[in-house]
């Protein structure tokens, strides 16, 4: 079996913000994970856990406080020339959470999508530019004549498709999707996720998919990382995380997912997570340990042994 190609390496990443003179918020607090070419890595957690900040730091919208982000072995946060940054931004693109705020209301769709094409000088004529935009619109399920309209003329789902077309315009290989469906109606969410899966197959894309909806993340992701208060607490394959959730915070997230089964819903028990329940002693080492093959949990030595004994391969 061929070894998977590591596209992105996040190593001990830290992103701290100073609020006032003495209050420091550790939005991302020493996390590490890898993303392999062609896969979707899901990052989940409740609002404020640091998952969106992680995505924005990876793509260098924020400068990291500490640690490193390696893209194809090159550190994203090292000092770079304008040419190097331009090349990096072509390879890495972002789809934003709010399809209303992320599109310039004064620009026509044609110019919104072509903005990256113009910056990276990817076409040689106005006709080629127009053809490329129309091709992208069709790729994301919109019509060619939509190019001459303004964002306010579209629904939320259509605007998010325009955002996806804009990200695809520069032919990236890695896309960070930052809660791309959270602002959309439930009926539209599945359509957008299915579009992302289709594009991944057709264009050999790699995704970091950030969301708080675990059921949707399971549907699209190959592996999932669970974040809590700036730290990764569990990383596993999508199926294994659902079948064998080890960390109590992961268990609490899964217990909140409703199912279309009345008898199950009548007996469904919500699990509350109490971070003080671990009972760690002062100086006790707590870090990510491999409890089972490719299944990592942030835990102490005592918890590690307990999780190993409880693990049930299915």
pLDDT tens for residues 100-157? 888 899 999 999 999 999 999 999 999 999 999 999 999 999 999 999 999 999 998 9
| Residue 236 belongs to some domain of the structure | no
189: which 2 tokens? 């969410």
Do 88 and 202 lie in a common domain?
Answer: yes
Do 85 and 222 lie in a common domain?
Answer: yes
Please say whether the beta carbons of 217 and 211 come within 8 A: yes
pLDDT digits (tens, 9 = 90+) for 233-247: 999 999 999 999 999
Q: Where are the alpha helices (DSSP H) in the chain?
A: 51-58, 82-91, 109-119, 126-139, 156-168, 186-203, 214-220, 238-243, 248-255, 262-267, 301-310
Do 47 and 79 lie in a common domain?
Answer: yes
Number of domains in the chain: 2
Q: Which of 192, 135, 115, 132 is nearest to 161 (CA)?
A: 192
Higher pLDDT, 85 or 92: 92
**Judging by DSSP bridges, how do beta strands 206-211 and 40-44 pair with one another?**
parallel
**Judging by DSSP bridges, how do beta strands 174-178 and 206-211 pair with one another?**
parallel
| Residue 260 belongs to some domain of the structure | yes
Instruction: Report residue 21 CA to chain centroid gap.
Output: 32
CATH assignment at residue 126: 3.40.50.300
d(CA 242, CA 91): 32
Q: Which of 139, 132, 183 is nearest to 164 (CA)?
A: 139
Q: Exposed, middle or buried by CB within 10 Å (0-12, 13-18, 19+), for 75?
A: middle
Q: Which of 279, 273, 225 is nearest to 249 (CA)?
A: 273
| Residue 239 belongs to some domain of the structure | no
Report the percentage of the chain scoring pLDDT > 90: 68
Query: How is residue 224 annotated by DSSP?
Result: E
| Residue 203 belongs to some domain of the structure | yes
Do 142 and 291 lie in a common domain?
Answer: no
Do 225 and 250 lie in a common domain?
Answer: no
| Residue 238 belongs to some domain of the structure | no
Does position 2 have pLDDT exceeding 60, yes or no? no
Instruction: Report residue 148 CA to chain centroid gap.
Output: 31
Do 266 and 191 lie in a common domain?
Answer: no
Instruction: Report residue 83 CA to chain centroid gap.
Output: 26
Q: Which of 165, 197, 229 is the last residue of a domain?
A: 229
Q: Which of 180, 203, 229 is the last residue of a domain?
A: 229
Does position 288 have pLDDT exceeding 90, yes or no? yes
186: which 2 tokens? 């439930």
d(CA 284, CA 107): 56
Do 252 and 108 lie in a common domain?
Answer: no
Do 178 and 252 lie in a common domain?
Answer: no
| Residue 235 belongs to some domain of the structure | no
pLDDT digits (tens, 9 = 90+) for 155-180: 989 999 999 999 999 999 999 999 98
Do 193 and 266 lie in a common domain?
Answer: no
Q: What is the dihedral of CA 99, 102, 176, 25, to 10 degrees?
A: -110
Do 261 and 149 lie in a common domain?
Answer: no
Q: Which of 161, 194, 229 is the last residue of a domain?
A: 229
d(CA 97, CA 159): 11
Do 190 and 268 lie in a common domain?
Answer: no
Note down the domain range covering 274: 246-314
Do 223 and 253 lie in a common domain?
Answer: no
| Residue 172 belongs to some domain of the structure | yes
| Residue 262 belongs to some domain of the structure | yes
d(CA 222, CA 239): 8
Please say whether the beta carbons of 48 and 228 come within 8 A: no
Instruction: Provide the pLDDT for residue 238.
Output: 94
Please say whether the beta carbons of 132 and 141 come within 8 A: no
- How much is the mean pLDDT over the chain? 91
């Amino acid at each position: 079996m061929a070894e998977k190609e590591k596209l992105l390496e996040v190593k001990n990443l830290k992103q701290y913000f100073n609020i006032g003179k003495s209050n420091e918020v550790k939005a991302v607090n020493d996390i590490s994970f890898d993303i392999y070419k062609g896969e979707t890595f899901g990052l989940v957690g409740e609002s404020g856990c640091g998952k969106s900040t992680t995505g924005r730091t990876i793509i260098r919208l924020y400068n990291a406080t500490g640690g490193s982000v390696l893209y194809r072995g090159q550190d994203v946060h090292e000092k770079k020339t304008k040419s190097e940054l331009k090349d990096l931004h072509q390879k890495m693109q972002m789809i934003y959470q709010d399809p209303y705020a992320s599109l310039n209301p004064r620009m026509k769709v044609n110019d919104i999508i072509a903005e990256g094409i113009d910056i990276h000088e990817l076409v040689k004529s106005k006709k080629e530019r127009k053809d490329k935009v129309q091709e992208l619109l069709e790729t994301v399920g919109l019509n060619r004549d939509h190019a001459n309209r303004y964002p306010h003329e579209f629904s939320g789902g259509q605007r998010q498709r325009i955002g996806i077309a804009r990200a695809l315009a520069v032919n990236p290989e890695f896309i960070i999707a930052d809660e791309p469906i959270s602002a959309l109606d439930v009926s539209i969410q599945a359509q957008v996720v299915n579009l992302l899966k289709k594009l991944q197959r057709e264009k050999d894309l790699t995704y970091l998919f950030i969301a708080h909806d675990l059921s949707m993340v399971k549907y699209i992701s190959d592996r999932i990382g669970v974040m809590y208060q700036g730290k990764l607490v569990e990383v596993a394959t999508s199926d294994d995380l659902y079948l064998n959730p080890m960390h109590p915070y992961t268990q609490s997230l899964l217990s909140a997912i409703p199912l279309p089964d009345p008898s199950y819903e009548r007996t469904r028990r919500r699990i509350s997570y109490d971070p003080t329940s671990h009972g760690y002693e002062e100086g006790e080492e707590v870090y990510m340990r491999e409890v089972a093959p490719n299944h990592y949990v942030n835990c102490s030595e005592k918890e590690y042994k307990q999780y190993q004994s409880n693990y049930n391969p299915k």
